[in-house]
Structure 1
Amino acid sequence: MNNNWYKNEEEEKLAEKLISMEKAALKKWFTGDSSGYRDLWSKKNFCYFDAVCVNRVDTYDEIAKLATERVDGRLYAKHYEVRNERVQAAKDMAVLTYQLYCESNLININYNCIEVFKKEDDDWHVIHSTWSVIRPMEMDFSAMKEIV
């Protein structure tokens, strides 16, 4: 972890916690189990953008349904790697950014990931998530296998 970004030990510990939560959700995700993210996403206030979704997803129920239909028992990563993690925090809000390099059974894709966390009921949850393709002009989506 790059300690130069964090002003004090408290910020560094928060960064470690949020990064750990995200990596735990990813670990499940890439074994065909969306429950890690379903637990991480805010049930009170959530929205989501993804490179393969035309419109923004505006509710927890909507994203949970999509995740269950598209991921559970279907998505498996041959290899994935999280790089360049950084957390920027202020009071009860924090933004985690990182890059994800993934080789999966559906598509090999590299993402810039943005997770906006908010402290709710004494725990941290993602209220907004954006997954955008790194250098999309170089991405060939024609090899993507049907998800549903």
Structure 2
Amino acid sequence: MKEKESNKVWDYQNDDERARADYIIGLEESALEKWFNGDISGYERLWSKRSFTYFDAVETKRMERFEDMASLLKKVEGNLKAESFEVRDPRVQFGQDMAVLTYQLFAKTNLVDVDYNCIEVFQKENDDEWYVIHSTWSIIRPMDMDFSVFKGKEIV
């Protein structure tokens, strides 16, 4: 149950680029649908096994490989739920066999309610499929967050 809102002030160069952008946004939204139902398989499939790095708001260092995500994925699997989420203003910028998806994500979950700026760097790999090779999830305006509600709580 995702909600969408768009205030686009830009546009894609042509129908082909728009179709590729819609495909990449669809990959991400499909992974998010599963994610917010405690199902990690969407991101397991979307994140590159060949080349992957990750920055997260609750981690102090960059994760260097897909395999490093195992502990985070185990925390989420079966535990994270959200009745709805909102992807705002998704935009895909293209390079040679690469694409950068940026958007804002808003979700009220059973574990933590945080608003994120999301950056997903996609690359087309040898199988001609798009995979995320870098992911960054950062809190929108962290100075406005009351982190005291998290004391003693295990969050994703």
* 1:112 and 2:117 matched: yes
Mark the runs of 5 or more structure 1 residues left unpaired by the alignment: none
Residues 49, 57 of structure 1: 8 Å contact kept: yes
**TM-score normalized by structure 2?**
0.89
2:60 to 41, 54, 61: 54
What is the DSSP-based 3-state SS (H/G/I as helix, E as strand, rest coil) of the residue aligned with 1:5? coil
Residues 101, 111 of structure 1: 8 Å contact kept: yes
What is the DSSP-based 3-state SS (H/G/I as helix, E as strand, rest coil) of the residue aligned with 1:31? coil
2:147 to 118, 121, 141: 141
After superposition, what is the alpha-carbon deviation per residue over 1:58-111, rounded to whole angstroms, capped at 9, x for unaligned? 101111x12332100111113311101000001200000000001001111000
**TM-score normalized by structure 1?**
0.93
What is the DSSP-based 3-state SS (H/G/I as helix, E as strand, rest coil) of the residue aligned with 2:64? coil
After superposition, what is the alpha-carbon deviation per residue over 1:26-78, rounded to whole angstroms, capped at 9, x for unaligned? 00000001110010000000000000111111101111x12332100111113
Separation (CA, whole Å) in 2 of partners of 1:62 and 1:40: 15
* 1:22 and 2:28 matched: yes
* 1:85 and 2:93 matched: no
Partner of 1:71: 76
* 1:98 and 2:106 matched: no
4+ runs of 1 displaced by more than 6 Å?
none
* 1:10 and 2:16 matched: yes
Residues 80, 103 of structure 1: 8 Å contact kept: yes
Residue 95 of structure 1 aligns to which amino acid in structure 2? Answer: V
CA 34–67 in structure 1, closer or farther in 2 if over 3 Å, else same: farther
What is the DSSP-based 3-state SS (H/G/I as helix, E as strand, rest coil) of the residue aligned with 2:22? helix
What is the DSSP-based 3-state SS (H/G/I as helix, E as strand, rest coil) of the residue aligned with 1:132? strand
Residue 79 of structure 2 aligns to which amino acid in structure 1? Answer: R
Percentage of identical aligned residues: 54
Partner of 1:42: 48
